[in-house]
């Protein structure tokens, strides 16, 4: 069980002033609690070994981002001796305590469980002390050939001050004895490890030993530090890594060219405020104190680790070993079941809307839709939003081909998609250079909506076809994230989408929309109105229900509306993968609200909102989580599913199946802790993702 008992007092909100007081859970601790649930996958003996390592690395990657984005205000408050408010001395201490505890358990799991399990499989990461003479000779040759030419040790003195250390880079600090070439006693040196060097290297085995052997780059360098400082005595040393605040802040009202300002900001991101220092467990107090002083960090920001300072890079071992016996069974998604390969999308969509449940059904259906639009001479225009596509994207190649074929291509590129800024800037510049119309949305708002609109000439008429999605246009993550794609030719829906594109490009007043709900204009208000209306109906004795699936729930107004509706009698189930600040099942406050989190093989990412009053049902799909930023500081979409058959399919697959999950589900407790659901025989427990994989896997489709 993961305990999170820190509560945050609520601030007044207008929408549910009559609701009894509720204490929200702390957001940052809720994020850490989510990572506890991910870490559980790395602990589970029923999970294949390489996948356990992968989940351990995912937690480390998540923690890196947590420190990069969430901890700076707490640290700043601590250093300023602030004792009140959301960010304070106590908030930093509490967050540091929770983070230190999680990191300690990560390394304990790595050293005590995973490494011995790998050794039983004949897979070893061999430390310097374990290497035999032949292996040491091989490592020395590798060091001389591949590593030493790239290293430039820096001895510190007045003319060689402490060097700039990039965010999350691997480095060594060394304490030297004796005198340098000029007779001075400068005793500290820094060795930067270039990012181009692999963090794990396959080492050949000899003789009858059939083990798969690997060495870490840190152990290779550690074993040969003395050779980097001829004539000096190498005494104390340690690997270290500093994490820096990396959330780009650009004053959009004060820049003339957002793209240029962001590119300049990216150059500085690697050298922002230091927020965490990781060193080897055996690092001396002298060296640790020296580093803390250099990075202006308190001792609570120091993390001593029993192993490599960057567990994320151990994902290389998954690829280097690549043993099917130690991985999840391969999954091949079927082609979307509502579509037939080779059939025209334009003809199919005249018959009705299509939903694609990714990754159980293939994202290839979305690419095929765009590919047909690009190749069809009757298609005149293509408009698309770009949030995250990746550096190597077939979708962007198709848009480039559309421009080459003379179609009008308009792309709304979100330059501020965190950690994808550079890729998006590069795509924007490429498309603009060949004649596409590239716009960057609305100043002060992130464009997070996922839309693709195709305009086609059919006889004397122009007909629109559209794709909407709860997730990104990224073929790689489409194989790893659960999302819903939605294809439609509905005239009112596509007209709404076109109006949104015109609004984003021209920033003109948005006309009244028929079907779409758009943030920051009416989505927040409409959701609250729906919740309030169900609360009113429940108070009149009507049968009411809310089931909402999302990635995060942190918006106070929406949470207060849910509390009020629950107190009126509405039965509410929330499926929230990550941070959730709304405590469930608190007596007298949230008795009618249940919250569960599903952590599975795939990352839960779809947003599905269900509202029912008696026999009247509303189902919305959305790009938006229930967070203040999504509702008020982003361009987001929600749209209704009106076809009753399609609506029921989505309800069954995305809501009902997850509410009955007894394998990958965790239920939120009133104090903020999560209990893993474990009902029934462990071998027959229902897992929603496993059931969907069985239903939609390509081999089964072929067998039919």
Catalytic annotation, pick one of 74, 224, 357, 448: 448
- Look at residues 519, 526, 577, 520 and name the one whose alpha carbon lies nearest to residue 548: 577
Q: Which H or E element spans position 523?
A: helix 523-539
pLDDT at 249 over 80: no
What pLDDT score was predicted for residue 394? 84
CB proximity list for 570: less than 8 A, separation 6 or greater: 531, 534, 535, 538, 544, 545, 546, 592
Superfamily of domain covering 519-703: Endonuclease Chain A (3.30.870.10)
Backbone angles phi, psi at 310, to 5 degrees: -135, 90
Q: Which fold has domain 345-514?
A: Endonuclease; Chain A (3.30.870)
pLDDT tens-place string over residues 162-182 = 888 999 999 999 999 876 666
For range 275-285, the mean pLDDT: 96
Tokens representing 703 are 């067998």
Burial class of residue 541 in the structure, from the number of CB atoms within 10 Å of its CB (0-12 exposed, 13-18 middle, 19+ buried): exposed
What pLDDT score was predicted for residue 88? 95
pLDDT at 109 over 90: yes
For range 589-615, the mean pLDDT: 97
Q: How confident is the model at residue 440 (pLDDT cuts 50, 70, 90)?
A: confident
What pLDDT score was predicted for residue 5? 34
CATH node for 126-252+272-327: 3.30.1840.10
Residue 383 contacts residue 215 (beta carbons within 8 Å): no
pLDDT at 419 over 70: no
Same fold, 126-252+272-327 and 345-514: no
- N-terminal to C-terminal alpha carbon distance within the chain: 43
For range 23-27, the mean pLDDT: 95
pLDDT tens-place string over residues 512-543 = 999 999 999 999 999 999 999 999 999 999 99
What pLDDT score was predicted for residue 203? 94
pTM above 0.85, yes or no: yes
Rounded to the nearest angstrom, the gap between the alpha carbon of residue 168 and the centroid of all alpha carbons in its chain is: 18
Residue environment code for 102-132, b if the CB has 16+ CB neighbours within 10 A, otherwise e: bbeebbebbeebbbeebeeeebbbbeeeebe
660 catalytic? Reply is: no
**Mean model confidence pLDDT for the chain:** 89
Would you kindly state where each structural domain of the chain is located, as residue ranges?
126-252+272-327, 345-514, 519-703
pLDDT at 441 over 70: no
pLDDT tens-place string over residues 113-158 = 999 999 999 999 999 899 999 999 999 999 999 999 999 898 887 6
What pLDDT score was predicted for residue 251? 43
- Look at residues 453, 536, 458 and name the one whose alpha carbon lies nearest to residue 498: 453
pLDDT tens-place string over residues 634-663 = 999 999 999 999 999 999 999 999 999 999
Highest mean pLDDT among 163-167, 220-224, 410-414: 220-224
For range 603-619, the mean pLDDT: 96
């Amino acid at each position: 069980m993961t305990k999170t008992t820190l509560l945050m007092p609520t601030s007044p909100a207008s929408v549910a002033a009559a609701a009894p007081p509720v204490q929200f859970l702390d957001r940052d601790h809720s994020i850490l609690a989510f990572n506890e649930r991910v870490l559980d996958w790395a602990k589970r003996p029923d999970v294949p070994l390489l996948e356990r390592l992968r989940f351990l690395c995912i937690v480390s990657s998540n923690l890196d981002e947590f420190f990069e984005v969430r901890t700076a205000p707490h640290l700043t408050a601590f250093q300023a001796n602030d004792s009140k408010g959301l960010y304070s001395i106590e908030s930093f201490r509490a967050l540091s305590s929770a983070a230190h505890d999680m990191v300690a358990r990560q390394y304990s799991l790595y050293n005590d469980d995973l490494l011995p399990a790998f050794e039983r499989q004949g897979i070893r990461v061999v430390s310097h002390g374990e290497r035999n003479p032949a292996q040491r000779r091989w490592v020395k040759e590798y060091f001389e050939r591949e590593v030493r030419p790239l290293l430039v040790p820096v001895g510190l003195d007045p003319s060689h001050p402490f060097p700039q250390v990039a965010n999350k880079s691997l480095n060594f600090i060394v304490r030297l004895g004796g005198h340098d070439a000029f007779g001075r006693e400068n005793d500290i040196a820094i060795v930067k490890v270039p990012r181009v060097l692999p963090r794990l290297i396959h080492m050949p085995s000899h003789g009858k030993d059939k083990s798969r052997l690997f060495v870490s780059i840190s152990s290779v360098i550690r074993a040969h530090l003395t050779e980097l400082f001829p004539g000096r005595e190498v005494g104390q040393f340690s690997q270290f890594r500093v994490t820096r605040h990396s959330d780009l802040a650009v004053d959009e009202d004060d820049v003339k060219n957002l793209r240029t300002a962001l590119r300049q900001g990216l150059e500085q991101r690697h050298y922002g405020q230091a927020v965490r220092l990781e060193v080897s467990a055996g690092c001396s107090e002298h060296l640790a104190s020296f580093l803390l002083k250099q990075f202006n960090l308190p001792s609570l920001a120091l993390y001593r680790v029993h192993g490599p300072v960057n567990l994320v890079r151990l994902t290389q071992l998954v690829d280097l070993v690549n043993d099917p016996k130690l991985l999840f069974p391969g999954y091949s998604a079927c082609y979307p079941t509502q579509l037939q390969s080779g059939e025209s999308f334009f003809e199919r969509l005249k018959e009705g809307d299509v939903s694609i449940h990714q990754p159980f059904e293939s994202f290839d259906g979305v690419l095929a839709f765009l590919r047909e639009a690009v190749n069809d001479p009757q298609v005149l225009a293509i408009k698309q939003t770009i949030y995250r596509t990746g550096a190597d994207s077939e979708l962007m190649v198709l848009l480039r081909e559309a421009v080459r074929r003379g179609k009008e291509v308009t792309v709304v590129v979100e330059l501020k998609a965190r950690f994808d800024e550079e890729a998006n800037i590069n795509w924007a510049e490429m498309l603009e250079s060949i004649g596409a119309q590239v716009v960057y949305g609305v100043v002060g708002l992130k464009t997070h909506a996922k839309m693709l609109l195709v305009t086609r000439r059919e006889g004397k008429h122009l007909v629109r076809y559209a794709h909407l999605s709860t997730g990104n246009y990224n073929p790689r993550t489409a194989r790893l994230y659960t999302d819903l794609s939605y294809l439609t030719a509905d005239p009112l829906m596509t007209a709404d989408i076109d109006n949104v594109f015109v609004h984003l490009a021209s920033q003109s007043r948005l006309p009244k929309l028929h079907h779409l709900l758009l943030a920051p204009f009416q989505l927040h208000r409409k959701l609250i109105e729906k919740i309030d209306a169900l609360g009113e109906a429940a108070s009149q004795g009507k049968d009411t229900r809310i089931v909402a699936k999302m990635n995060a729930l942190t918006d106070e107004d929406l949470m207060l509306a849910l509390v009020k509706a629950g107190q009126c009698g509405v039965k509410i189930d929330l499926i929230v993968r990550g941070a959730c600040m709304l405590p469930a099942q608190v007596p007298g406050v949230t008795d009618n609200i249940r919250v569960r989190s599903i952590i599975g093989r795939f990352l839960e990412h779809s947003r599905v909102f269900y509202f029912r009053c008696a026999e009247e049902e509303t189902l919305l799909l959305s790009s938006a989580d229930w967070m203040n930023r999504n509702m008020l500081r982003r361009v987001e979409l929600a749209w209704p599913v009106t076809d009753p058959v399609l609506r029921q399919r989505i309800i069954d697959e995305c809501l009902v199946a997850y509410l009955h999950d007894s394998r990958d589900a965790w239920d939120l407790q009133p104090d903020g802790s999560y209990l893993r659901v474990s009902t029934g025989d462990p071998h027959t427990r229902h897992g929603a993702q496993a059931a969907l994989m069985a239903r939609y896997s390509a081999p089964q489709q072929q067998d039919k």
